[in-house]
Homo-oligomer: A and B are copies of this chain.
Amino acid sequence: MNDGNWTPRTDLALEAREMLTKQVNEDISGVMVETLEDGEVTITKVHITNPEAERIMGKEQGTYITIEAQGLRDENTLLQEQIMKILAQELVEMAEFTKDAVILIIGLGNRNVTPDALGPRAVEKIVVTRHLQSMISPELQGGVRSVCAIAPGVLGITGMETVEIVQGIVNKIKPNVVIAIDALAAASSRRVLTTVQLANTGISPGSGVGNKRVGLNKATLGVPVIAIGVPTVVHASTIAIDTIDAMQETAPFARYFKSMEQLSDADRRVIVSQVLPDFLGDLMVTPKEVDRFIADMGVVVAGGINQAIHPHIDYQNIYKYLH
C-alpha cells in the first residue's frame, strides 16, 4: 500500500504509466513507451529516462519490458515455450552477458506462502553449472555459462535482510551479474499470472508480494541486477479503489452523482477502511488455482533464463531437465 497515495498499487511500470495517462491524458516527459504484438503476445517497453519521470511514475530510471499473454493460464505448452523464447531474447539483449560471465540467480520470496513462492520455485528449475565448469567440454564453452542460484528466504524466517545475505554471497562468489526473480502485485486482475516483467533497475525496497525491505541493485550489490517479476496478486484494496473509479468514470452512472469531481485520497481511505476493516496490507486477490499457476510460471521464467544463459544446450535437454 502506498501510504500517502490512494491510487491502486502496482509493481508493473506499464500499469504505473497507464494510471498516469488515464489522468493526465497526454505524453509524459521522460517516459517512452514502445508496444509490439506477436500473435497473442504483447510486448511493451517502458523507458524512464529522467528524475522527474522517476518521481511521477514511482519507479527507478531504467527500462521495463512487459511480456503478456492471457493464454498463460491455460496450460498451453506451445504458448509457454513461445514466452520462454521471447523472455530469453529480451534478457540477452538487456543483460549483454559476456561469454565467460558468472551469473548469480536470486529467488526472492517465501516458499511457504504460495503467491510469494514464484522466486524459490523458479530457482529450482535453473540449470546451475558453476560447480561443473571443469567438466564442461570445450565445444560447449561460452554456451554453457557459469550459473549459481539461491532462494535465501524472507526476513521473518531468516532474521536477516535479504540484501545482507546476497551481499555476503556476492562478495564470496563475485558474479558479473545478478538476476533476481520475484512475485509482484498488479493493479489489474487481468495481468495476474499472465505477465512477465524484466527490468534493468534491480529490485526497489518495498516492492513484491511479501513485505520486503530489501533493495537489490547495483548500488547495494556492486554489479548489474536484472529483475524478473510475475504479478501473482492484486491487493484487495486495489479492487475497492478501482470500484470507486469505475463508478465515477462510467458514463451511465453520472446520473447518480452530483458532480464528477474525484474523491480525495482521504475519502478513498475512509471507504477502503470500511470495506476492508482489518488487515489492509495482507489481503490478496488471487485466482483460486494459484498453486498450479505459480508452478507453471516458475517453469516459464526458469526456462527463459536457461535459454538466455545456456544457448548451446539444446532445447530438448532443457525441457527434459525442467520436468
Contact = CB atoms under 8 A, between A and B. Distances in A.
Interface stretch (A32-40, A42-50, A52-60, A258-266): A258-266
B113 A275 contact: no
Given A173-B168, A255-B258, A288-B115, A159 B128 contact: yes
Contacts of A150: 152-153, 158, 160, 165
Interface in A199-258: 209-210, 233, 236, 239-240, 242-244, 246-247, 250, 252-253, 255-258
20 contacts: A114-B291, A116-B288, A128-B157, A128-B159, A149-B158, A149-B159, A150-B160, A150-B165, A164-B169, A171-B172, A189-B276, A236-B285, A240-B240, A240-B243, A242-B275, A243-B275, A250-B274, A253-B267, A253-B271, A256-B263
Interface in A117-168: 123-124, 128-132, 146-153, 155-161, 164-165, 167-168
Q: State the number of copies, please.
A: 4
A124 B112 contact: yes
Contact of A113 (B161, B261, B289): B289
Contact of A256 (B255, B259, B291): B259
Residue among A156, A239, A288 with most chain B CB within 10 A = A288
A290 interface: yes
Nearest to A287: B282
| 3 shortest interchain CB distances as A-B pairs | A128-B159, A148-B159, A168-B172
